[in-house]
Structure 1
Amino acid sequence: MMAEHARPFYYQIPWKSASVHAGEHQGTQRGLGDEFKQHLSLIDYPDARRLDLRQTLRDPYEQVQVRVFHQDATTPLYAICDVSSSMQFMGKQRKLDIAMQIAASVARSAHDNGDLFSLICYDQQVIPHLTFPPGQHAYQSFACIEQLSQHHKPRVNANGLQEAASTVGQQKGLVFWISDFHQPIADIEHALNLLANHVVIPLVLWDPMEYQRLPRFGFGQLQDPETGQQKTVFFRPALKQAFAELFSQRKDQLDTLFLQYETQAIYIGDAYDAGVLSRYFEARMA
C-alpha cells in the first residue's frame, strides 16, 4: 500500500559521487560516462571502444591513445525519522503518518533513480527493526516504512538523535531529516556536526493545530507528548498569541542554525506534497 501511494520527486546532487556502482550522477571513478576525464595509452587503459585517432597521431611517443571518462555513479539517500512521542501529535493527521509519507517518497525517488536508500528511526535510541543500511531493495524499504503505521510508543524523548546521526554511513549522500525539531538547539547542532559530510535537508513537521488553530476562549487541555502530563489551560487571545510568538521565535532559531550549516529547512504543515521537494532542489541548483 505504501509503495503504491509514494510519490517521487526530482533531485540532483551538487557533487561528484565516489561510488564504484554505476548510476545516474556524475562520479569520480573512470568508466563509460559522458564527462571527459583524460587521455591514456591503450596499454594503461585497454578499451578500444574509446580510441582517439586524432590524439594518437599527435602523440610524440606514438602510443595509441584512448579517451577516459568519468563513470556516472549512485549516491545514498538517507531518511532519518524522529519517532519520539511528540511525533504522535494528531491534527488533521498524525505527524508520524506524514513522516511515513515523506520517507516513502524519498525511498521511491531513490529506487526510481537507481540510488541507494537507508532508513534510520530513533526516539530515545536508534530502533533496530526500523533501521537498515543503504541498499537497492525496494520491498524492504517500503515494508519497513509501513511498520511506522503501528508505532505508538508513549512517553519517549528524542535523545537517540546523536546515535542516529552517527549511524549514517561515510559515503556522502542526501540526508532527509524528518522531525518536529522540538529537541534542544544544542542537540540539533551536535547532530548537524556529525552529519557535516552530507547534504542535510531538514523537514520540520509543525501542525497548525499546535500553535495556529488553538481555541480563542475557554478551558482546554494541553499535553506534553514527551512526559504524558496534562494541564488544564484557560485559553484567551493573549495566550493564543503567545503560542504563535513562541513558534515564530523557534523558527528563527532553527533557520539561523541551518543557515550556518548551509542548508534550509522545509516546513510541512498538515499534509505532504512531493512537489515541495522537487521545487527545493530546483531552487538549490538554480
Structure 2
Amino acid sequence: MIPSYAKPFTYAIPWRSSSVHFGGHKGTQRGLGFEYRGNVPLVDYPDARRMDLRQSLRDPFEQVQVRLHNQDNTTPVFAVCDLSGSMQYAGRRRKLDIAREIAASAACSAHEAGDLFGFVGYHSQVEEPLLLPLGAHVHQAFEIIEQLGDFRRLNVGPQGILEVPQYLSQHRGLVFWISDFHMPLELIAEAFNMMSMHQVIPVVLWDEREYKALPRFGFGNLIDPETGRNRVILFREAVRAQFEAAFAARREALEDMFERFDSPGHFIEGDFDADAMSHYFEQYMSL
C-alpha cells in the first residue's frame, strides 16, 4: 500500500541511460524507441518491422534499408538519507519526518517511471537496517522508509556519507541526497567526488526556527545534537543577527559548493512540495 505521505513528482535525467532495459529515459541502446538514429542495410540489422521503403528505393546499391531508433531505457534511482543527530531537530516538524516523506515520494516516482529504486540511511556509518539494495519492490522500499518515523539517535555525526558510494549502482544513476548539510564543507566535497559518476540532487532541509526563533534577551543553552556539547550563550539582538547572517553565509557557501559539482541544491524550509520538485527538474535537469 502506498503511504499517504508519498507524493510522486516528475523527474528527468540529463544524460543518456546505458541500461539495456526498456524504460522512460533516452538511452544509448538501439531498439524499439521513437528517437530516430539513422538507416542501415537490412542485413546489418535484420528487423523487417523497421523497413524504410523510401530510403530503399534511393539506395544506389539497391539494398533494403531499415530505420534505427534509440530505445528508451531505465535508470537507477536512490534516496540517500542523513540520519545524524541534527536531523532530529523539530521546529514546526522534525526534519527526519520530512526526509521520510521525500524518500517515499522518490520511491513512488521511480516506480511510476518504471525505474529501479534503492535506499541508504547513514549517520557515523551506514545504518544497515535502513539499507535497501536497488530493486523494483516498491512496497519493500516503503517498509524501510517508514522506519525513519521511529528513528531516534543523538550524538552521531554524518561521516558515514563516505561509505554510501559503495552501495550505489555501477551504472550512472540519480541520487537524492536528503540532509540538512550541517557538516563540514570538506566532507561534502569529498562525498561529491566519491559519487561523481552519479547525478546527485542535494535536498537541503532547513527550518527557519533554527536561526530565527531564538531568545530576544537572556541566557540560553545551545546543544550540538551530533557531539552532545553544551554551550551557554547570552542572547541579545546582535547575537540573533549574527545567527541569521551565519545561516545566510552558509547557504551561499552550500550553493557555491553544489554549483561546483553541477548539482544545484533544492532547499526546503517547510513541507515537501512535489510540484516544486518537478519544477526543479524542469529548470535544471532537462536533457
Q: Give the TM bin, normalised by the shorter chain.
A: over 0.9
**Conserved 8 A contact 2:28-2:70:** yes
Determine if the alignment matches structure 1 residue 69 to structure 2 residue 59.
no
Deviation at residue 160 of structure 1 after TM alignment? 0.6
Deviation at residue 32 of structure 1 after TM alignment? 0.5
Residues 109-124 of structure 1 mapped to structure 2, 5 A cutoff = 109-124=109-124
Separation in 2 of the partners of 1:201 and 1:119? 14
Separation in 2 of the partners of 1:197 and 1:247? 30
Q: Which amino acid aligns with 1:265?
A: G
Deviation at residue 8 of structure 1 after TM alignment? 1.0
Deviation at residue 217 of structure 1 after TM alignment? 1.7
Separation in 1 of the partners of 2:271 and 2:41? 57
**Conserved 8 A contact 2:130-2:145:** yes
Q: Which amino acid aligns with 1:105?
A: S
Deviation at residue 2 of structure 1 after TM alignment? 6.0
Deviating more after overlay: 136-145 vs 58-67 = 58-67
Could you say which residue in structure 1 is the equivalent of 2:54? Answer: 54
Q: Which amino acid aligns with 2:143?
A: A
Could you say which residue in structure 2 is the equivalent of 1:226? Answer: 226
- Once the two structures are superposed, residues 44-102 of structure 1 have per-residue CA deviations (whole angstroms, 9 ceiling, x without a partner) of 22211111112222333333221111001111111111001111111111111111111
Q: Which amino acid aligns with 1:45?
A: Y
Could you say which residue in structure 1 is the equivalent of 2:253? Answer: 253
- Once the two structures are superposed, residues 225-256 of structure 1 have per-residue CA deviations (whole angstroms, 9 ceiling, x without a partner) of 01223333332111111111111111121111
Separation in 2 of the partners of 1:129 and 1:51? 53
**Conserved 8 A contact 2:211-2:244:** yes
**Conserved 8 A contact 1:37-1:70:** yes
**Conserved 8 A contact 1:217-1:236:** yes
Could you say which residue in structure 2 is the equivalent of 1:38? Answer: 38
Separation in 1 of the partners of 2:273 and 2:62? 59
What secondary structure sits across from 2:27 in the alignment?
Answer: coil
**Conserved 8 A contact 2:2-2:139:** no
Could you say which residue in structure 2 is the equivalent of 1:143? Answer: 143
Residues 235-250 of structure 1 mapped to structure 2, 5 A cutoff = 235-250=235-250
**Conserved 8 A contact 1:2-1:146:** no
Q: Could you tell me the TM-score, scaled by structure 1's length?
A: 0.95
Larger strand fraction of residues = 2
What secondary structure sits across from 2:33 in the alignment?
Answer: coil
Could you say which residue in structure 2 is the equivalent of 1:13? Answer: 13
Separation in 2 of the partners of 1:156 and 1:10? 34
Could you say which residue in structure 2 is the equivalent of 1:202? Answer: 202
What secondary structure sits across from 1:72 in the alignment?
Answer: strand
How big is the alpha-carbon RMSD for the aligned residues of Structure 1 and Structure 2? Answer: 1.6
Deviating more after overlay: 61-70 vs 198-207 = 61-70
Q: Which amino acid aligns with 1:251?
A: R
Q: Which amino acid aligns with 1:6?
A: A
Q: What are structure 2's unaligned runs of at least 5 residues?
A: none
Could you say which residue in structure 2 is the equivalent of 1:156? Answer: 156
Separation in 1 of the partners of 2:139 and 2:2? 10
**Conserved 8 A contact 1:178-1:204:** yes
Q: What are structure 1's unaligned runs of at least 5 residues?
A: none
What secondary structure sits across from 1:271 in the alignment?
Answer: coil
What secondary structure sits across from 2:126 in the alignment?
Answer: coil
Identity %: 50
- Once the two structures are superposed, residues 240-275 of structure 1 have per-residue CA deviations (whole angstroms, 9 ceiling, x without a partner) of 111111111111211111111122111111321112
Q: Which amino acid aligns with 1:137?
A: H
Could you say which residue in structure 2 is the equivalent of 1:85? Answer: 85
Separation in 1 of the partners of 2:166 and 2:257? 20
What secondary structure sits across from 2:68 in the alignment?
Answer: strand
Q: Number of residues paired by the alignment?
A: 286
What secondary structure sits across from 1:3 in the alignment?
Answer: coil
Deviating more after overlay: 48-57 vs 27-36 = 48-57
Deviating more after overlay: 28-37 vs 48-57 = 48-57
Deviation at residue 122 of structure 1 after TM alignment? 0.6
Separation in 2 of the partners of 1:144 and 1:47? 44
Q: Which amino acid aligns with 1:132?
A: L
**Conserved 8 A contact 1:123-1:159:** yes
